[in-house]
Structure formats: C-alpha cells, structure tokens
Structure 1
Amino acid sequence: MSGQAAPGKLIAQQAEQQGGVLAKLVIFALALGFVPISSYFLSRDYLWAGNTIYAAITAIISANLVLVAYIIESVREESRLRAREKQQQPAESKKDR
C-alpha cells in the first residue's frame, strides 16, 4: 500500500514546487515591467530635475537590479530544493553498495 502512496506524494510535492516557481516568475515579470518605468519617471521628475539621460540610466540600473534579484532567488531556490532532497534520501549503508 505504501508503494502506491509514494508516487502520489512525489507528484504533489512537484506540483507545489512548480506553483511557487510560477508565482515568483509572474512577480518578477511584473516587477521587470513596472520598476524601470516608474523609476524613470520618478527619478526624472524628483531626482534629476528633468534630465532624461540620468533618468534613463536610473531605469537601466533598476531593470538590472530586478534581473539580478531574480537570478539570486533562483539559485537560492535550487539550493533549498537540493538540501530538501538530501534530507529525504535515506542514508546509504555499506551493505547497499
């Protein structure tokens, strides 16, 4: 009976992980669209006093920061998944080798 339950648990865990990944992707995609545009207009009006070149540079930097944050979060997620898989695997004995 437990042999039949194991694949079901594995499928449920994978679906849960993929849902979290999809949510993060949507959040970062929205941030990648919203953050640079808003930083351009806000920095142009309030920080750089109408200078569009400095405002564009600010928008480029903010877009790159969002991309770097996404990469860092992806690497952290991957390391968490690997650590979780290591904890779930039973220890290998000399007899099993």
Structure 2
Amino acid sequence: MSEQVAAAKIVERQAEQQGGVLGKLLIFALSLGIVPISSYFLSRDYLWDGNTIFAAITAVVAANVVLVAYIIESLREESRMKTKEKGKQPAESKKDR
C-alpha cells in the first residue's frame, strides 16, 4: 500500500512540473510570435520614421531576445529540478553501487 502512495506522489509531482513547463512553452511561443511583429511595426512608425531595414533589424533582435530568455529559463528550471531531486534522494551506500 505504501508503495502505491509513493508512486502516486511521484506521478503527481511530475504532472505538476510538466504543467508548468507546458505553460511556459505556450507563453514563450506566443511571445515569439507577437513581440517581433509588434516591435517591427512600432519601431518602423515611431522609432525609425518609416525605415523598414532598421525596423526589421529591431524585429530580429526582439526575436533573439525571446529565444535567449527561453533558453535561460529552461536552464534555470532544470537546475532547480536537479537540486530538488538531489535533496530528496537518500545518500548512496556501498550496497547500492
């Protein structure tokens, strides 16, 4: 019975983590579509006075910023998950090796 409870807790924890990961992926996917397009039109009209080349460069930079932010967030999340797992696992004994 206790093994079933432990297994259920593990499955529940993984489902919570995957739900958070999916939410972050959706947020970054939407921002990857919205941020460059809006930065192109806003910078073309208000920052560069109609110069489409500079506006396109601004959109490319905005897309790269979103991608780098996603990579940094995924690395931070992975390191947080590793530290949680490391803290919850019992110390390895000689018999386990």
State TM-score, norm by structure 1.
Answer: 0.94
Correspondence 1:48 to 2:48: yes
Structure 2 counterpart SS, 1:91: coil
Distance (Å, rounded) in 2 between the aligned partners of 1:67 and 1:4? 40
2:32 aligned residue: 32
Distance (Å, rounded) in 1 between the aligned partners of 2:95 and 2:61? 56
Distance (Å, rounded) in 2 between the aligned partners of 1:11 and 1:68? 31
Q: CA deviation at 1:92?
A: 2.6
Distance (Å, rounded) in 2 between the aligned partners of 1:60 and 1:95? 55
Mean Cα deviation higher: 84-93 or 33-42: 84-93
2:87 aligned residue: 87
RMSD value over aligned CA atoms? 1.2
Correspondence 1:72 to 2:72: yes
Distance (Å, rounded) in 2 between the aligned partners of 1:23 and 1:7? 24
Distance (Å, rounded) in 2 between the aligned partners of 1:96 and 1:38? 56
2:7 aligned residue: 7
- Structure 2: 5+ residue runs without aligned partners? none
- Structure 1: 5+ residue runs without aligned partners? none
Letter in 1 for 2:5: A
Distance (Å, rounded) in 2 between the aligned partners of 1:59 and 1:38? 8
Distance (Å, rounded) in 1 between the aligned partners of 2:46 and 2:6? 58
Distance (Å, rounded) in 2 between the aligned partners of 1:96 and 1:37? 55
Distance (Å, rounded) in 2 between the aligned partners of 1:18 and 1:4? 21
